[in-house]
Amino acid sequence: MIPNNPDSRVFKKHPLNPVLAPGNFPPGVMYAFNPGAIKFNGEYLMMVDAATEAQPIVFWLARSRDGVSWRTDSAPVNWPAPDPAHREDCVYDPRITKIGNEYIIIYASSSEAGGVRLGIVKTIDFKTFTRVSIASEQGNRNGVLFPEKINSLYVRLDRPFGDPNDTCGMWVSYSPDLVFWGKSEPVMGPRSGLWDSLKVGAGAVPIKTDQGWLELYHGVASTGVGMVYRLGVCLLDLQNPARVIARSEDAVLWPEHDYELTGRVGNVVFTCNAIVEDDKTVKIYYGASDTCIGLAEARLDDLVDACFRKNPFILRA
């Protein structure tokens, strides 16, 4: 497929995409996608969803000096034993937030008996991982921890879906200790007629800017070929992140190439990370078709501007 005018886009996809694929892992890994990513010890580090044909997903680390060529560990992460109250059968979509010298990972903890909940695990060295909590009721995922406390409380975005009447939107919750969570309120929901009309959920760890918290989120539309996952941006109030300051009308990343259109689940681009470089370039390592990982880069200022941009083709009253 010939992409439409890639030069004018906010995000530029790397010409060597996908930069990490199942073939880079030891045999048995069939799909590698949706990593958390961060800079650690002067290198780029990804914690990847690694799935076997048999379905369960484990987390697997990959490291890179230049952010483009990656080497994978020889074995999956030594994940802590499940919480006795919630037996994990499967883990996925880790988001890594650094606070002080700790890396706090919020992920989807799924169990046949207990449904999908948010799990929290922390590490300081990416060798030993310590369980903090199972931090939600059944029916929640896409948990993302802000990089600093607001009004002395930890803050997270999440996506409750336990109630069939829920509109599958993004919420915010607060905690004094990463164990007890509350003060929950909705942030934003799907928008009828747009690319995010079915569901929206948090993506990357929010980036602090002068204009607000920049959040890269995923939006889903239901189409004739099934669900399509794209990425968009919004700005949230620095002191009250439930208040949306601006939200892009257009998606900033969407599936278009073969590796994004077909795979374990086709028509998906999905991010759990955004790395801000010193020169204010933002790198994201995005899952493509739940199968492999692409790299895309944007200028931080352009992402903030995109939050305010209107789509010229929408008919307005």
Residues that bind ligand BMA (CB under 6 A): 34, 92-93, 229, 265, 268, 270, 287, 290
Q: Which residue has the tokens 């501007």?
A: 305
249/233 Cα distance (integer angstroms): 9
Nearer to ligand BMA, 227 or 244 (CB): 227
Residues 6+ apart with CB under 8 A from 316: none
Closest contact distance (angstroms) between CB of 101 and ligand BMA is: 29
Please, what is the minimum distance in Å from the beta carbon of residue 220 to ligand BMA? 8
Quick one: 91 or 307, whose CB is closer to ligand BMA?
Answer: 91
In the complex, the smallest distance separating the C-beta of residue 316 from ligand BMA, rounded to whole angstroms, is 32
Nearest residue (CB) to ligand BMA, 19 versus 231: 231
Residue closer to ligand BMA (CB basis): 141 or 156: 141
Q: Which is nearer to ligand BMA, 150 or 227 (CB)?
A: 227
In the complex, least distance from residue 234 CB atom to ligand BMA, rounded to whole angstroms? 19
Q: How far is the CB of 308 from ligand BMA (least distance, A)?
A: 28
Residues in Cβ contact with 205 at an 8 Å cutoff, skipping those fewer than 6 apart? 95, 96, 97, 144, 145, 146, 147, 273, 274
| Least CB distance to ligand BMA at residue 6 (A) | 23
Nearest approach, Cβ of 287 to ligand BMA (angstroms)? 5
Q: CA-to-CA distance for 160 and 239, rounded, in angstroms?
A: 22
Residue (176 or 226) nearer to ligand BMA, CB: 226
Determine the residue with CB nearest ligand BMA: 265
- For residues 151 and 77, the answer to whether their CB atoms sit within 8 Å is no
Contact 187, 171 (CB under 8 A): yes
Q: Which of 229/254 has CB closer to ligand BMA? A: 229
Q: Which C-beta is closer to ligand BMA: that of 48 or that of 304?
A: 48
Q: CA of 213: how far to CAs of 11, 116, 146, 205, 233, in Å?
A: 19, 27, 9, 10, 10
CB neighbour burial string for 217-236, b if at least 16 within 10 angstroms, e if fewer: bbbbbeeeeeebbbbbbbbb
Region for 280 from its dihedrals, namely left if φ exceeds 0, alpha if ψ lies in -120 to 50, beta otherwise: left
Least distance CB 268 / ligand BMA (angstroms): 5
